[in-house]
Structure 1
Amino acid sequence: MPQPNQAALDFLATRRSRPAKTLTTPVPDAAALRPLLAIAARTPDHKKLEPWRFIVLTKPALERLALMIPDRAIALGIAPEQAEKMVRQFADADLVVAVIGAPKLNDAVPELEQVLSAGAACQNLLAAALAAGWGANWLTGWASFDRPFLEEGLALKPHEFVAGFLHIGSETRTPPERPRPDLDAIVQWVDE
């Protein structure tokens, strides 16, 4: 029988994201963030392509991005309340790690597998931040898919995309548990 890491299993069984709007300072400094990014980079990665990278956005960068949102919202016909919500996502944050999907051309590794690897990097970073005692949340939103915003604001290359904006900070309150999936409704056993 395998020897379980009960502490890790207990953490994963009770893991709960913290709403980004409830996070505050202090945030991890570079020394505290670096090991979390190293954990994020330990994601499944067929052929070791590293089809992702990280952009650490500090307060000045987040304020700059927030200022770009209103014009992009108007250009896209985004409703004012949705525009303001996206402004707040950046303006109210103190530290965000943008996980950037950066698929590489490789005949042996389909692009979808590389996209999934970028998502796994987001999940690893989220879990690592929470395990380290920080509050954390994985967000996207309409600006995550707006090419002019991504290319001007984050200098993304045409083939790159945002897999997630990981907000990390000090939690001000623990959120209540939420309903979880009914395993009987989503699990299928195949015995033959």
Structure 2
Amino acid sequence: MKTDTSTDALRLLKLRKSPKIFDIVAPGPKPAEIDEMLTIASRVPDHGKLAPWRFIVFEGEGRERAGELIAGTFQKDVPEADADRVNIERTRLSRAPLVIAVVSKAAPHVKIPEWEQLMSGAAACTLLVLAANALGYVATWLTEWYAYDARVRAGLGLAADERIVGFVHIGTLAKPQEDRPRPALADIVTRF
């Protein structure tokens, strides 16, 4: 039997979409809302109770510091890049008022495959996106070149064996978004 709460939850799940990054603006979540989102994101399936993920919160001037790291790394690899191109890299984590990185700590384990641990991190990203939407914000989950760059990861405080599952950009929607085409169930579902 559907309750008002379950109807609201189903509506959120059916209508949620990832906005374009440049359409995410202030205001962002308040500190208590951030804690609530992170609490929800940590309630994912986690075989063995390993918590094989962690979160890095980028807000305020921390976004700019991270941007300097990203831009500096980019400039080392592309020294001929013009100032506009470097600025694109510098602003990667300051386009939304809040960015939360989900970091995978997946590691060999006697019982729990690393793949399951990594999927738990991906589930944390998904719940983080849903929690942001449930609180009235929007969220976009991105990974770009800097998520895979060992120098950037080290500069952000990741251990050598940690990986970034995603950067979740969170804020307020600046303008309505059109939905993208979704796959037809007949194209993606089989029954055994």
Which TM-score applies when normalising by structure 1?
A: 0.89
C-alpha separation between the residues in 2 aligned to 1:75 and 1:157?
Answer: 22
**2:103 maps to 1:94:** no
State how many pairs are aligned.
Answer: 187
Deviations along 1:8-35, one digit per CA (max 9) or x if unpaired, are 1222111112222111221112111111
Q: Displacement, 1:69?
A: 2.4
**2:88 maps to 1:69:** no
SS in 2 for 1:43: coil
Among 127, 130, 155, the alignment partner of 2:130 is 127
Which TM-score applies when normalising by structure 2?
A: 0.89
Aligned CA-pair RMSD: 1.9
Q: Which residue type is aligned with residue 119 of structure 1?
A: A
The verdict on how the C-alpha distance between 1:92 and 1:7 changes in structure 2, with shifts beyond 3 A counting, is closer
Q: Displacement, 1:94?
A: 2.1
C-alpha separation between the residues in 1 aligned to 2:52 and 2:165?
Answer: 11
Q: Displacement, 1:128?
A: 0.7
Among 86, 108, 112, the alignment partner of 1:109 is 112
Any runs of at least 4 consecutive aligned residues in structure 1 with deviations exceeding 6 A, and if so which? none
Deviations along 1:76-129, one digit per CA (max 9) or x if unpaired, are 449948755433322333211111111143211100111111000000000110
Contact 2:129 2:168 in 1 (8 A): yes
Q: Which residue type is aligned with residue 134 of structure 1?
A: Y
SS in 2 for 1:92: coil
1:173-192 equivalences under 5 Å are 173-190=175-192
C-alpha separation between the residues in 2 aligned to 1:110 and 1:76?
Answer: 35
Partner of 1:168 in structure 2? 170
**2:53 maps to 1:47:** no
Q: Which runs of 5+ in 1 are unaligned?
A: none
Among 104, 116, 121, the alignment partner of 1:118 is 121
Q: Which residue type is aligned with residue 130 of structure 2?
A: A
The verdict on how the C-alpha distance between 1:187 and 1:89 changes in structure 2, with shifts beyond 3 A counting, is same
C-alpha separation between the residues in 2 aligned to 1:118 and 1:78?
Answer: 34
C-alpha separation between the residues in 2 aligned to 1:79 and 1:175?
Answer: 36
SS in 1 for 2:92: helix
Out of 131-140 and 5-14, give the one that drifted further: 5-14
